[in-house]
Structure 1
Amino acid sequence: MRFDPAGRSERRLSGPAWWFVAGYGVSAIGTGLCYPFLAIYLHQILGLSAGAAAVLLVALAGAAVPMSVAGGWLVDRHSSRAVAIGALLVQTVGWLVVAAGAGYVAELLAVLVIGVGTGLFLPAVIPIIAGLSATEEVKVRTMSLRYLMLNLGLGLGAGLGGLLLGSASAATYQWLCAANGVSCAVYAAIITLRVPLPRDGGRWVQQRARLVRFRPGLNYGLLLVVQLLFVTFGLAQVESGVPLMVRAELSGSTALAGGLYAVATLVVLAGQLPVSRWVERVHKTRALITMGLAWAGAWLLGYAAGALTGGPRVALLVVMMVTFALGECAYSPAFYTLVEKIAPEGTLGRSSGAAWAVFQVGNTLGPPIAVFLAGGAVPFWLVLAAAATLAAGLMLVVDRRMHAAPRPALVVR
Structure 2
Amino acid sequence: MSPTPDALAALRRRSVNRILVLHGLSSFCYGMVFPFIGIHLAAQPDIATAGVAVYYGASGLANLAVSLLLTAAVVRVPRHALGILGLLLWVGCFGVLTGATTLPEAGAAALLGGAGQGAFMAAIIPIVNSLVPPEERRAVFARRYQILNATLASGSLVAGLFLAVFSREAIAWLLLVNAAGYLPVALVLALARKVPGIAEAGGPGEPAEPGDASDTPGPAPAPVPAPAFGTGMLIRASLTAALFQFGAYLFGFSQFEATAPLVADRLMDTGIGWISVMLTVNVVVIVACQRPLGKLLEKHSEERGLRVAVAFWVTGFLLAFATAFGPGPVQLTGLILYAAFFGLGECAYSCSFHPWLISKVPDRELTRASALCNSMMGIGMFFGPSAGIALIGLGDPAWVWLPLAALCGFVALTTLRRKARTAPADPAASADSGAPALVPAG
Classify the TM-score, shorter chain. Answer: 0.7 to 0.9
RMSD: 4.4
1:281 paired residue number? 299
Q: Distance in 2 between matches of 1:5 and 1:387?
A: 49
Q: Which amino acid aligns with 1:399?
A: K
Q: Distance in 2 between matches of 1:51 and 1:92?
A: 24
1:22 paired residue number? 21
Equivalent residues of 2:35, 2:261 under 8 A apart: no
Q: Does 1:301 align with 2:310?
A: no
Equivalent residues of 2:247, 2:408 under 8 A apart: yes
2:418 paired residue number? 398
The alpha-carbon deviation at position 42 of structure 1 amounts to: 5.9
Q: Please list, as runs of the form range in 1=range in 2, the aligned pairs for 1:88-237 lying within 5 A after superposition.
A: 88-99=87-98, 109-135=108-134, 137-165=135-163, 166-167=165-166, 175-194=173-192, 196-199=194-197, 206-207=206-207, 212-214=229-231, 215-216=233-234, 218=236, 220-237=238-255
| 1:262-310 Cα shifts (integer Å, max 9, x gaps) | 4223212222232222333321011112222333333333444457668
Q: Distance in 1 between matches of 2:143 and 2:62?
A: 27
Q: How many residues align?
A: 400
The alpha-carbon deviation at position 35 of structure 1 amounts to: 4.9
1:63 paired residue number? 62
Q: Distance in 1 between matches of 2:395 and 2:98?
A: 41
Equivalent residues of 2:46, 2:103 under 8 A apart: yes
The alpha-carbon deviation at position 93 of structure 1 amounts to: 4.0
2:435 paired residue number? none
Match of 1:326 among 333, 337, 344: 344
Q: Distance in 1 between matches of 2:98 and 2:7?
A: 44
Q: Which amino acid aligns with 1:354?
A: L
Segment drifting more, 180-189 vs 216-225: 216-225
The 3 A distance-change label for structure 1 pair 212 and 198 is: farther
| 1:297-324 Cα shifts (integer Å, max 9, x gaps) | 3333344445766877766665554333
Q: Which runs of 5+ in 2 are unaligned?
A: 209-225, 423-438
Segment drifting more, 251-260 vs 114-123: 251-260
Q: Which runs of 5+ in 1 are unaligned?
A: 406-413
1:341 paired residue number? 359
Q: Distance in 2 between matches of 1:43 and 1:3?
A: 55
The 3 A distance-change label for structure 1 pair 200 and 388 is: closer
The 3 A distance-change label for structure 1 pair 210 and 185 is: farther
Q: Which amino acid aligns with 2:230?
A: R
Q: Does 1:386 align with 2:409?
A: no
Q: Does 1:266 align with 2:284?
A: yes
The 3 A distance-change label for structure 1 pair 92 and 72 is: farther
Q: Distance in 2 between matches of 1:264 and 1:159?
A: 12
Q: Distance in 2 between matches of 1:2 and 1:33?
A: 44
Segment drifting more, 376-385 vs 340-349: 376-385
The 3 A distance-change label for structure 1 pair 36 and 108 is: same
The alpha-carbon deviation at position 188 of structure 1 amounts to: 0.7
Equivalent residues of 1:13, 1:138 under 8 A apart: no
The alpha-carbon deviation at position 252 of structure 1 amounts to: 8.4
Q: Which amino acid aligns with 2:142?
A: S
Q: Distance in 2 between matches of 1:400 and 1:93?
A: 39
- TM-score, structure 1 as length reference: 0.77
- TM-score, structure 2 as length reference: 0.73
Q: Does 1:80 align with 2:96?
A: no
Equivalent residues of 1:71, 1:124 under 8 A apart: no
Aligned to 1:282, the other structure's residue is in SS state coil
The alpha-carbon deviation at position 246 of structure 1 amounts to: 6.9
Q: Distance in 2 between matches of 1:126 and 1:8?
A: 20
Q: Distance in 2 between matches of 1:376 and 1:48?
A: 23
Q: Which amino acid aligns with 2:307?
A: I
| 1:140-164 Cα shifts (integer Å, max 9, x gaps) | 1222222222222322333334444
Q: Distance in 2 between matches of 1:160 and 1:314?
A: 21
| 1:1-32 Cα shifts (integer Å, max 9, x gaps) | 9999997779x981111111112112212323
Equivalent residues of 1:71, 1:83 under 8 A apart: no
